[in-house]
Chain A
Amino acid sequence: MSFVKFEKVYKRYHMGEVVITASDGVSFEIEKGEFAVIVGASGAGKTTVLNMLGGMDTCDEGKITVDGKNIAEFTKKQLVTYRRYDVGFVFQFYNLINNLTALENVELASQICKEAESADKALNDVGLADRINNFPAQLSGGEQQRVSIARALAKNPKLLLCDEPTGALDYNTGKQILKLLQNTCRERGMTVVVITHNQAITPMANRIIRIKNSRVESVIINDKPTDVETIEW
């Protein structure tokens, strides 16, 4: 049994009289401990998949299994619990709370979890031990994204979801962030799902899921993912 399994998932949005099908029978699987990349052009339906996988949205049809539970059948409250304990989320724009220090931003997540690791440690792990008392405005973009990752990891989630984690960062910083995510996957056996439009980073993944026109175009399993350092784009 796969850790994540989408089976014929449909999602339709009603815009007045027009029905937009954002997920048109999406099916794929991701194994535990894999580094998966969901790749596709803008508007292909990646974010819809991410929303459903992250428990931020529900599907209209189909089955979404995460760790043996069909989250498609979850109530709203169950979905919150799911997000709370099972999912770590890394945003494109970091989404740190400006008014909280790095440490406090991590605490924001860790304090609501049962098996959270300490915020200090989480920041230490992402290499920000000396910046813990800084406010987001005092940190660079890469540092902010690290805080965001630390915040996601501090919850000890089963699944780390990253939405265009390098989208707002420059090339080198983006690379560092990807490296951090890859290391996290490798060292902690964390299942990491990265959503991106950047084809270039696919070689670093165990599994590449291509989305096009709201459908899964292909799923490629890469037994030998390359290190981030060697990838150029």
Chain B
Amino acid sequence: MMKLNAFFKDVVREIFHTVGRFVSIFLIVAIGCGFFAGIKATMPYMKNTASDYFKKNNLMDIRLQSTLGIKSSDVQALSKLDFVKGVMPSYSKDVFYNYNDENIVLKAMSYTDRYKGKDALNKLVVLNGRLPKKSGECVVEKKVSSPETFKIGESIKLSATAENTDIKESLVNDTYKIVGIVVSPLYIGYQRDNTNAGNGKIISNIFLLEEDFIDDYYSELYISVEGLDKYEPFSDKYKDKVDIYSKFAASALEESVSDRFEDYKAEVKEDIEKANSDIEDFQNIINSDNQSLKVIKTELNKNISALQKQISKVKSDAGRVLLQAEIIQSKDSLRQITRLINAREHGDHSVDKEYKQKINESKTHLKESKKSLSEISHPKIYTSSRFDSDDYSSFESDSEKINLIAKVFPVFFIIVTALVCLTTMTRMVEENRMQIGTYKALGYSSFKIALKYLFYAAVPTILGSVTGVTIGLQVFPKIIYNSYKVLYNIPKLNTPFLPWYCIGCTAAALICVLITVVYAIRRELKAVPSELMRPKSPPAGKRVFLENISFLWKRFGFLTKVTFRNLLRYKKRFFMTVVGIAGCTALIVTAFGLKHSISTIIDRQFNNVFNYDAAVMVNTNRIKSVSQADNELKSINGVSDSIPLCINSYTASVKDSSPNGVTVIATDAPDRITQFISLQNRKSGKRLSIENDGVIVTEKLCTLLDLSVGDTLSLNDEDGNTYKMKISGITENYASHYVYMSSALFEKVFGRQAIFNSFYIHKSDNCSENDIAKKIVANDSFLGVSYISELGESFSNTLDSLNSIVILLIVCAGVLAIVVLYNLSNINITERKREIATIKVLGFYNGEVLAYIIRENFLSTLIGIIFGLILGVFLHHFVVITSEVDIVMFNRNLVWWAYVFAFLLTVIFSVAVNFVLYFKLKKIEMVESLKSVE
């Protein structure tokens, strides 16, 4: 026990005496573990934060809408379902708000505190101010693109989106005072719902009290599903469950709405019958002469007195009311007929005219009723889930992107940590030779001696790992998340400490460090004490292979020769520098390459592949013929060309992945479609044309399914039917999957007629997108327009966040380079103090001393960079392949400037380290040269 204590003291003192070494192990472990844990934890942190946010604010799972609106009876019907946890109906209305002389579309949504507990879904988070309390108050969303007038205290005046309609028909007030700024968990990003008003885009949502809506029907019904909050809200499991429950909920709602629909239909039919009988009655009266009218009059009188007698006998209130009503009606008829008789007797025909008018009115009513009966189609139910919001999906994919980077890191950091520890510990063991010999001479076992060094290395490793992970978990996720904050409305990131990350990292670091210690000490443990007591003879100078090539060697300057010899003499260090620098360069190549690979696909997809400017959705129920719609479209000022297309969605099952959506586009003008979409093989550059014998498929889909030209592609529809088609060409494409075919082949493959439900259009350059969109939306034949430019824009927003990842990669690369170079140079300098002091005494200027040492660094850095550039090609390829989601194909080419930047940045990092080195060298005392060899 005593021995152990003395031994322990020795270790502790050793640590205190060699703080620099201790710190360098501590730092490299801390940095490695911190980076890894921080980046690795970002995805779970982001997802958990979102998940908690959704749970806390009771975000709905399913949204239901019906063409007949939602009534309280529907709400009740849904709430009775077993799986339904919370139900909340709400009103919404698209309105105009005149901002900067332009009508922008806002979506007014209802807010109420009527629903409590599990029924209070989609709770608004108040950032500023308060929620509306009385009619005429509203809250607005916090959103980057919201109008500037959206501030607390401002009043906003709304108007109806339909022409000649008063907003007060649907809302109680037209002016609302903003009392608060909120975010809604329903909208976590930029994207808002679509509308068929204005230019088709909702700028922002506002929330009014429920009482401010004048509407017989709710617009939507939100439900939450029992037990779903135990699933991670982005997981496939959750998605699958939601899909199943959506179907149940939809059919329940359909049933409930259908009942209402039948009632409504019956009502209309009744209306028609009544109108018919009215017309008949009035016609009869006009046609009768006064004589027969008087007969009717007498009958009516009799009838009334009979009814009055009857009323006294009836006990129930309801019965009495009914009879009363009948009496009133009969009295009314009696009065009318008396008026008619009297008028006719005075030769006055005005009352006759009144009757004729009444007939006309009833006839119009009849016509209207008949029309609405013919028009009302069976109610349709629409369901949507959280996944229908692009923002929701992109939040997930963004967080996963970061996870992919975490895949690349550990390898580098493990290698670097091991190398740094190896050199540091080797140096320590060398310095301690004498001591090891003494211990041995004293009779300590090899194991016990090794224990000292293992213990010495373990302490900073554990401390470093715990410190690194603790700090890393706080710092890196927040930095990354902040760069996404622009895109998402989800509040502050939760970063709870993750013990398993800490344990895992520490264990990995310990194993890695301890192995290196054993490796470093192995030779000393084998040696006999007397050997260790003698100073180790410095490694003898050796000729390097280059010297054999004497014509080359002779040409080298003297310093170059020294450099080569030194490099090959300290192989471990040379190797470590090369690995560290290569890692740094490769990371930077990857960072820039990745940015290029991803950012260029927008340009390629939306400028090169998609040549059209916008897609127009056709209201297929309204249009008489495709050619007529085409003409209507072409007549709109600003639309320079258009092509009708039959666009349908199918899925393709992909191995080891969820089914991928595939858009099938059929055309009857194969020769014209290439003016809208470029069909070209990326590899061969060959232009493709749509023939009747096969389909053209986009590249990524073929890669995913491992198909090539001549193979058969199988697509499934919602009902599980499978359709097979032969691939005749593979076309360049970067986002989503498309299959292009002729409409003739479409009919053959899918066994149904190709319905042209969309147009792709070209717009003339001088017209604004907004104007054209307004004109198209105003036309009943079309449902909406979506511009390519907007698609591209929303893509580039996501890509902006890539910049931060690029920066992160570069920072990591820089730290890597700096730690490695600094550590090595430091060891290099301390080991060669005598040599450096000597050349100083010989009269080398400071710059020359630096050059003497730096040349080695420079050369090994250069070799490292060359390896790094090569390694970067593979790393980039690997990252691009792994980070691609199924529906996207990145540009696999590595751009030349990624190399240039990687080279320059690595050089800058290396220069920075060498700059510090210069001062260290300056500090070395020449007196060192007079000291004896250790």
Contact surface of A with B, Cβ cutoff 8 Å: 47, 51, 54, 56-57, 77, 80-85, 87, 89, 91-93, 95, 97-101, 104, 107-109, 111-113, 135-138, 151, 155, 163, 168
Q: Flag if B843 contacts A47 (CB, 8 Å).
A: no
Q: Please name all residues of chain A whose beta carbon is closer than 8 Å to the beta carbon of B933 when the two chains form the complex.
A: 93
Inter-chain CA distance A65–B808, complex, in Å, is 59
Query: Contact at B843–A54, with CB atoms within 8 Å?
Result: no
Contact of B844 with A98 in the complex, beta carbons under 8 Å: no
Other-chain residue from B541, B839, B929 in contact with A108 (beta carbon distance below 8 A): B839
Q: How far is the CA of A214 from the CA of B504 in the complex (A)?
A: 62
Q: 3 closest Cβ contacts across the A-B interface?
A: A84-B843, A135-B541, A137-B540
Q: Would you give 26 A-B contacts (Cβ < 8 Å), ordered by A? A: A57-B926, A57-B927, A80-B844, A82-B843, A83-B843, A84-B844, A91-B838, A92-B932, A93-B931, A95-B841, A97-B541, A97-B835, A98-B541, A100-B541, A100-B565, A104-B558, A104-B561, A107-B558, A108-B562, A112-B848, A113-B843, A135-B540, A135-B542, A137-B540, A137-B541, A155-B843
List A contacts of B538 (CB < 8 A): 98, 137
Interface centre among B562, B838, B842, B848 (most CB of A within 10 A): B842
Distance of B589 from chain A, by nearest CB (Å):
34
Flag if B838 contacts A95 (CB, 8 Å). Answer: yes
- Which residues in window 538-561 of B have CB below 8 A to A? 538-542, 558, 561
**Residue in A95, A97, A109, A138 whose CB lies within 8 Å of B540:** A138
Does B566 have its Cβ within 8 Å of any Cβ on chain A? yes
- When the two chains form the complex, which single residue of B537, B561, B841 contacts A89, counting CB atoms closer than 8 Å? B841
Residues in B whose Cβ lies below 8 Å from that of A57: 926-927
Q: Check B845 for interface membership: any CB of A closer than 8 A.
A: yes
- B537 x A137 contact (CB < 8 A): yes
Asked whether A99 lies within 8 Å of B562 as measured between CB atoms, the reply is yes
In the bound complex, do residue B540 and residue A100 qualify as a contact, i.e. CB atoms below 8 Å apart? no
- Check B541–A101 contact: CB distance below 8 A: yes
Within 8 Å CB of B846, what residues of A? 80
- Contact check, A98 vs B842: say whether CB atoms are below 8 A apart: no
Q: Which residues of A contact B929 (CB under 8 A)?
A: 91, 95
The answer on a CB contact under 8 Å between A93 and B561 is: no
Does the CB pair A97–B562 fall under 8 Å? yes
- What residue of chain B has the Cβ atom nearest to residue A86's Cβ? B843
Distance (Å) between the CB of B829 and the closest chain A CB?
Answer: 15
* 826-871 of chain B: CB within 8 A of chain A: 834-835, 838-846, 848
Closest to A76 in B: B846
Q: Which residue numbers of B lie inside 8 Å of A, CB to CB?
A: 537-542, 558, 561-562, 565-566, 569, 834-835, 838-846, 848, 926-927, 929-933
- B845:A80 contact, CB within 8 angstroms: yes
**Would A104 and B842 be within 8 Å (CB), given that A93-B932, A95-B929 are in contact?**
no
Q: Is the CB of A99 within 8 A of B541?
A: yes
State how many angstroms separate the Cβ of B548 from the closest Cβ of chain A.
Answer: 14
Residues of chain A lying within 8 A (CB to CB) of residue B835: 95, 97
Which residues of chain A are within 8 angstroms of B931 by Cβ–Cβ distance?
93
Contact of A54 among B537, B561, B839, B841 (CB under 8 A): B841
A107 CB to nearest chain B CB (Å): 5
A111 nearest in chain B by CB position: B558
A109 CA to B561 CA in the complex, in Å? 15
Considering the chains assembled together, what is the distance between the CA atoms of A137 and B926 in angstroms?
23
Say which residue of A82, A89, A93, A135 sits within 8 Å of B842 (CB atoms).
A89
Closest to B565 in A: A99
Q: Which B residues touch A109, using CB under 8 A?
A: 842-843
Give the residue name and chain of the B residue nearest to A92 (CB).
B930
Measured between alpha carbons, how far is A57 from B930 in the docked complex, in Å? 13
Given A97-B562, A98-B539, A99-B565, A91:B843 Cβ within 8 A:
no
- Taking a contact as CB atoms under 8 Å apart, the answer to whether A83 and B841 are in contact is yes
* Contact (Cβ within 8 A) B930 A85: no
The residue from B561, B566, B844, B927 contacting A51, defined by CB atoms under 8 A apart = B927
Report if A47-B930 is in contact (Cβ < 8 Å); known contacts: A83-B842, A97-B838. Answer: yes
Chain B positions within 8 Å of A87 at CB level: 843
Chain B residue with the shortest CB-CB distance to A95: B838
Candidates B834, B840, B845; contact of A77 at CB < 8 Å: B845
Cα A163 to Cα B931 in complex, Å, equals 11
Nearest B-chain residue to A151, judged by Cβ = B842
Q: Considering residues A83, A85, A138, which has the most beta carbons from chain B within 10 angstroms of its beta carbon? A: A83
CB distance from B452 to the nearest CB of A (A): 29
Complex CA gap A104/B931 in Å reads 23
Residue of B nearest to A148 (CB): B838
CA of A82 to CA of B537, assembled, Å: 33
Q: Which residues of chain B have C-beta atoms less than 8 A from A56's C-beta?
A: 841, 926-927
Q: In the docked arrangement, what's the CA distance between A196 and B931, Å? A: 15
Min CB gap A86→B, angstroms: 9
Q: In the complex, A151→B926 CA distance in Å?
A: 17
Contacts of B558 in A (CB 8 A): 104, 107-108, 111
> Which residues of the partner chain B approach A82 to less than 8 Å between Cβ atoms?
843
Closest to A167 in B: B932
User: Closest approach, in angstroms, between the C-beta of A5 and any C-beta of chain B?
Assistant: 22
With known contacts A95-B838, A137-B537, A81–B843 Cβ distance under 8 A: yes
Contacts of A135 in B (CB 8 A): 540-542
Chain A residue with the shortest CB-CB distance to B843: A84
In the complex, what distance in Å separates the CA atom of A81 from the CA atom of B834? 20
- Interface pair A95/B834, CB less than 8 Å apart: yes
Chain B residue at minimal CB-CB distance from A88: B842
Q: Bound state CA distance, A132 and B460, in angstroms?
A: 48
User: Closest approach, in angstroms, between the C-beta of A109 and any C-beta of chain B?
Assistant: 5
The docked-state distance in angstroms from the alpha carbon of A109 to that of B542 is 21
A45 vs chain B, min Cβ distance (A): 14
Q: How many angstroms from the CA of A54 to the CA of B927 in the assembled complex?
A: 11
Residue numbers in B under 8 Å from A138 (CB-CB): 540
Cα distance A100–B931 when bound, in Å? 20
Please, which residues of chain A bring their CB within 8 A of the CB of B841?
A: 54, 56, 83, 89, 91, 95
A115 vs B840: C-alpha distance in the bound complex, in angstroms? 19
Q: Please, which residue of chain A has its CB at the minimum distance from the CB of B842?
A: A109
The residue on B at minimum CB distance from A54 is B841
The distance in angstroms between the C-alpha atoms of A92 and B930, with both chains bound, is 7
Q: In the complex the two chains form, what is the Cα distance from A94 to B929 in whole Å?
A: 9
Q: Which residues of A have CB within 8 Å of B566? A: 99
Give the chain A neighbours of B840 by CB distance below 8 A: 80
Q: A54-B841, A93-B933, A99-B569 are contacts. A104–B926 as well, Cβ < 8 Å? A: no
Contacts of B932 in A (CB 8 A): 92-93, 168
Which residues of A sit under 8 angstroms from B926, Cβ to Cβ?
51, 56-57
- Check A100/B927 contact, CB under 8 A, given A84-B843, A108-B839, A112-B842: no
With A47-B930, A100-B562, A163-B930 already in contact, the answer to whether A108 and B539 are too (CB < 8 A) is: no
- Knowing that A99-B569, A135-B540 touch, tell me 6 more A-B residue pairs with CB under 8 angstroms: A84-B845, A95-B834, A97-B839, A108-B558, A112-B842, A137-B538
Instruction: Enumerate chain A residues within 8 angstroms of B842, measured Cβ to Cβ.
Output: 83-84, 89, 108-109, 112, 151, 155
Closest residue of chain A to B566, judged by CB?
A: A99
Contacts of A95 in B (CB 8 A): 834-835, 838, 841, 929
**Contact call A112/B844, Cβ cutoff below 8 A:** yes
CA distance A97 to B565 in the complex (A): 11
Q: Judging by beta carbons under 8 Å apart, are A85 and B843 in contact?
A: yes
B837 → chain A closest CB, angstroms: 8
Question: What chain B residues lie within 8 Å of A111 (beta carbons)?
Answer: 558
- CB A69 to nearest CB in B, in angstroms, measures 16
A123 CB, min distance to chain B CBs, angstroms: 15
Determine how close the nearest CB of chain A comes to the CB of B547; give it in whole angstroms. Answer: 10
Q: How far is the CB of B215 from chain A (nearest CB, A)?
A: 88
CB distance from A196 to the nearest CB of B (A): 13
Measured in the bound complex, the distance between the Cα atoms of B838 and A109 in whole Å is 10
- The chain A residue sitting closest to B922, CB to CB, is A76
Complex contacts, B843 vs chain A, CB 8 Å: 80-85, 87, 109, 112-113, 155
CA of A100 to CA of B540 in the docked complex: distance in angstroms?
9
Q: Smallest CB–CB gap between B367 and chain A, Å?
A: 108
Find chain B residues with CB under 8 A from A168 CB: 932
* A168–B932 CA distance with the chains assembled, in angstroms: 9
With a cutoff of 8 Å between Cβ atoms, the chain B residues found around residue A80 in the complex are 840, 843-846
